[in-house]
Chains A and B, each alone.
Chain A
Amino acid sequence: MSIYDDNGGEQDRLPDEELVRLYLDGDSAAFEELVSRYESVVMNMAYRLLGNRSDAADVCQEVFVLLIRKLGSFRGEAKFSTWLYRVSLNACHDYARRSRRHVSISESPGDDLPEIEQRLADDGFDAPEISLERAEIRKMVRDAIARLPYKFKEVIYLHDLSGYNYKEVAEILDISLGTVKSRLNRARARLAKELEGYREQMG
């Protein structure tokens, strides 16, 4: 069975869990398909949590390498995507901890990249019509997220940026609903305070 059914070129999308099974049966193309489905997800998560792009790319590699090694232990009890989120969050967490001594390379996401890369590759793909003010607010928000404690970043990323509801966030992070609620509240309160300060400063 191929990862796509040959149906006049139409892609018949197989569920992730089926791709996992195919990969475990020796079909490496199935794994590549999983990578193409989730590369962007993992990159974005790592970027939001670690705050810089080259770290995000590193972690993204770590995550998928880990996946190759650990897929055998995926029991299918949780959805593949939930499982992947957990693995990715752990990898980001480890990475952040390992590199704590070395942070401060860049306080602001994307600052570690050469200018041209920043323009090409970063959030900076804000369309030209977006006003300077909006672009600045976005930058301020990104920077403020980067300064949040890691636990807060996780919930902000999962809930506000990725659209998971409280229950899903609780499941992914393996914490209680109440904890999700309070972390999210505190994280947002901090961000809101920064935004308010910024607006006051700008008059």
Chain B
Amino acid sequence: MRCRNAIKQIGPFIDGELTAPETQVMREHLDACADCSRRYALMHGMVKELSSLPAIVPTPEETYRLMNRLRREMAAPVAPRLASRRGQLAAAALSALVLATVAGVSLAVWSGGGPAPVMEEVTAEGEGVAEAGKEIGQPSEDLAMESMGTGLAAATLARPALVTSGNEYTAADLEDFRNDLGTRLDFYSTYWYPASSGASKPATLKNMQADLTDDLAKQAAAAGQDPGELELAVTAVMEQAGDEPVLPCYAERAKVEGKDAWLISVSGPEDYLLFPDRKQPPAMVLASLGGEESLKVSESVLRELAAWLAPSSSRNVPLVPASTLQSQEAETGSGAPTDGATSTPEGAADAEQGQVQEDFQSFLRQLAAQGTSLDVISALEGLDYEQVLMLMQGNWSSLAAGGVNLSDFLTPPQRLWAVDCASGEVLWSAE
């Protein structure tokens, strides 16, 4: 056997991929040839090194991000075959987005948990909106590339959306403008979560802000708008946000109080509160800053509710659905609004229960009368005493761990600005 042939066979020899006669020939050659024997030893050592390299184990954060992304993907409505690709992409990316058409003028209304986007209607409306539909959730290669440098998840990349609606809004309209919750959810998983889990570098926020602003400017140019004006508006908003880490996620060209304006919405780290998966990543606890201001119910209401739910030795009344009662059983505490004897005869106990139940219902009706939304009230009904306390204390992580949907009780700051196109002056802000 010649060395030239032997060299080619060293690998298969080590791997046991040679036939018996080939193996025999190889052995003989190695015994006789010092050079090949040295080559063999070296390669054998290398193969051993390779096979001893430890495998990496996905961290809980990585698994969490993966599963969330996949659950959203699986939950995305399946677009009908005839729907355009853009519709499908948007549906996949923004399952929570609703685009409603009002009186023939399309107005983007964003709300969590809504039905599948009515993309087809909107794409017929006008170029600007259609363009936005296309862009949402469809990462361009450019941006995907740029973002890789910052360690962002290209696979889940959510892009800012730009709409040229030309709608006329008054300040009052803007108050009601439920901005971009869907987009912000996507932003959470694309930007905030990786940032908080340490998967990106400290400089990333600035890079992300710059990338997203660029992206919006490009979209503006593509929609026939002046990208410079858009950049001016975004910059003005970022200045308003001050030290708060925010990312521009939505721009709409419209008129506000008669002036040409850009509506700019930004995403903040608090958007994690809207995240559908209730397992809250520990690193996001910090982001619950500002949670109190965004509570949908006042603290006094919560205090009253806690009083209703406080366990009392005299009362095991199912004020709340039975499923939430378990944790009360072991409780001893005070603060119940009604006192009662510890050993009430059965009939009297029933009567008392009926009375308490009625009082509780009237308390809830009162809340409704005061303007608390029915959704919030029904969510409150599902809480137990401990959970109400957690809500009062802002103990979001324990609530989330207990399966409470935080977005039932919390709403993120609106974070919407209207900026005069020409002057860059802030015309209106939600804050």
Contact partners of B145 in chain A: CB under 8 A: 98-99, 101-102
Contact partners of A16 in chain B: CB under 8 A: none
Contact partners of B431 in chain A: CB under 8 A: none
**B residues 31-58 in Cβ contact with A at 8 Å:** 39, 42-43, 45-47, 49-58
Q: Does A116 reach chain B (CB closer than 8 Å)?
A: yes
Q: Does A3 reach chain B (CB closer than 8 Å)?
A: no
Q: CB-defined interface of B59-74 with A at 8 Å, one 1/0 digit per residue?
A: 1001101110111011
Task: Give the residue name and chain of the A residue nearest to B197 (CB).
Answer: A117
Task: Give the residue name and chain of the A residue nearest to B49 (CB).
Answer: A141
Q: Cβ of B50 and Cβ of A141 under 8 Å apart? A: yes
Q: Cβ of B198 and Cβ of A61 under 8 Å apart? A: no
Q: Does B287 reach chain A (CB closer than 8 Å)?
A: no
Tell me the complex Cα distance, A181–B59, Å.
35
Contact partners of B74 in chain A: CB under 8 A: 28, 31, 68
Tell me the complex Cα distance, A59–B194, Å.
15
Tell me the complex Cα distance, A195–B48, Å.
12
Task: Give the residue name and chain of the A residue nearest to B8 (CB).
Answer: A185
Q: Cβ of A141 and Cβ of B53 under 8 Å apart? A: yes
Given known pairs A61-B155, A122-B56, A165-B17, the reply for A32 and B199 (CB within 8 Å) is no
Q: Does B154 reach chain A (CB closer than 8 Å)?
A: yes
Q: Cβ of A39 and Cβ of B58 under 8 Å apart? A: yes
Q: Cβ of A57 and Cβ of B199 under 8 Å apart? A: yes
A101 to chain B, nearest CB (A): 7
Q: Cβ of B153 and Cβ of A57 under 8 Å apart? A: yes
Q: Cβ of A192 and Cβ of B46 under 8 Å apart? A: yes
Contact partners of B43 in chain A: CB under 8 A: 188-189, 192
Task: Give the residue name and chain of the B residue nearest to A100 (CB).
Answer: B145
Task: Give the residue name and chain of the A residue nearest to B200 (CB).
Answer: A54
B83 to chain A, nearest CB (A): 15
Tell me the complex Cα distance, A191–B48, Å.
12
Q: How many residues of A contact B (CB 8 A)?
A: 61
Q: Does B335 reach chain A (CB closer than 8 Å)?
A: no
Q: CB-defined interface of B189-226 with A at 8 Å, one 1/0 digit per residue?
A: 00000100011110000000000000000000000000
**A residues 42-76 in Cβ contact with B at 8 Å:** 43-44, 47, 53-62, 64-65, 68
Q: Cβ of B53 and Cβ of A161 under 8 Å apart? A: yes
Q: Cβ of A98 and Cβ of B141 under 8 Å apart? A: yes
B158 to chain A, nearest CB (A): 13
Q: Cβ of A58 and Cβ of B50 under 8 Å apart? A: no
Other-chain residue from B8, B11, B17, B153 in contact with A61 (beta carbon distance below 8 A): B153
Tell me the complex Cα distance, A126–B54, Å.
8
**B residues 344-389 in Cβ contact with A at 8 Å:** none
Given known pairs A28-B74, A65-B73, A105-B149, the reply for A116 and B46 (CB within 8 Å) is no
Tell me the complex Cα distance, A43–B201, Å.
21
Given known pairs A32-B70, A61-B153, A117-B198, the reply for A181 and B65 (CB within 8 Å) is no
Tell me the complex Cα distance, A33–B155, Å.
21
Q: Cβ of B53 and Cβ of A68 under 8 Å apart? A: no
Given known pairs A68-B74, A141-B50, A161-B50, the reply for A196 and B42 (CB within 8 Å) is yes
Given known pairs A98-B141, A105-B149, A195-B42, the reply for A65 and B198 (CB within 8 Å) is no
Task: Give the residue name and chain of the B residue nearest to A95 (CB).
Answer: B154
Task: Give the residue name and chain of the A residue nearest to B50 (CB).
Answer: A160
Contact partners of A123 in chain B: CB under 8 A: 53-54, 56
Task: Give the residue name and chain of the B residue nearest to A138 (CB).
Answer: B53
Q: Does A184 reach chain B (CB closer than 8 Å)?
A: yes
A114 to chain B, nearest CB (A): 5
B54 to chain A, nearest CB (A): 5
Tell me the complex Cα distance, A175–B153, Å.
31
Tell me the complex Cα distance, A19–B12, Å.
36
Tell me the complex Cα distance, A79–B47, Å.
27
Given known pairs A61-B153, A121-B59, A192-B42, the reply for A138 and B49 (CB within 8 Å) is yes
Q: Cβ of A125 and Cβ of B70 under 8 Å apart? A: no
Q: Cβ of A39 and Cβ of B46 under 8 Å apart? A: no
Given known pairs A141-B50, A188-B43, the reply for A99 and B148 (CB within 8 Å) is yes
Q: Cβ of A40 and Cβ of B58 under 8 Å apart? A: yes
Q: Cβ of A195 and Cβ of B53 under 8 Å apart? A: no
A142 to chain B, nearest CB (A): 7
Contact partners of B57 in chain A: CB under 8 A: 40, 121, 125
Task: Give the residue name and chain of the A residue nearest to B145 (CB).
Answer: A102
Contact partners of B55 in chain A: CB under 8 A: 40, 44
Tell me the complex Cα distance, A43–B145, Å.
20
Task: Give the residue name and chain of the B residue nearest to A160 (CB).
Answer: B50
Q: Cβ of A57 and Cβ of B56 under 8 Å apart? A: no
Contact partners of B418 in chain A: CB under 8 A: none
A145 to chain B, nearest CB (A): 8
Task: Give the residue name and chain of the A residue nearest to B43 (CB).
Answer: A192
Given known pairs A138-B49, A192-B43, the reply for A57 and B149 (CB within 8 Å) is no
**A-B pairs with beta carbons under 8 Å apart, 12 shown:** A43-B58, A57-B65, A61-B70, A112-B151, A116-B198, A123-B54, A137-B49, A138-B52, A156-B50, A166-B17, A188-B47, A192-B46
For the complex with contacts A44-B55, A54-B194, 12 further pairs of A-B residues with Cβ separation under 8 Å are A43-B56, A61-B66, A65-B73, A117-B198, A121-B59, A123-B56, A159-B15, A161-B50, A165-B15, A181-B17, A191-B46, A191-B50
**B residues engaging A (CB < 8 A)?**
7-8, 10-12, 15, 17, 39, 42-43, 45-47, 49-59, 62-63, 65-67, 69-71, 73-74, 141, 144-145, 148-149, 151, 153-156, 194, 198-201
In order of increasing CB-CB distance, the 10 nearest A-B pairs are A61-B155, A160-B50, A62-B155, A192-B46, A185-B11, A192-B42, A54-B151, A192-B43, A57-B62, A141-B49
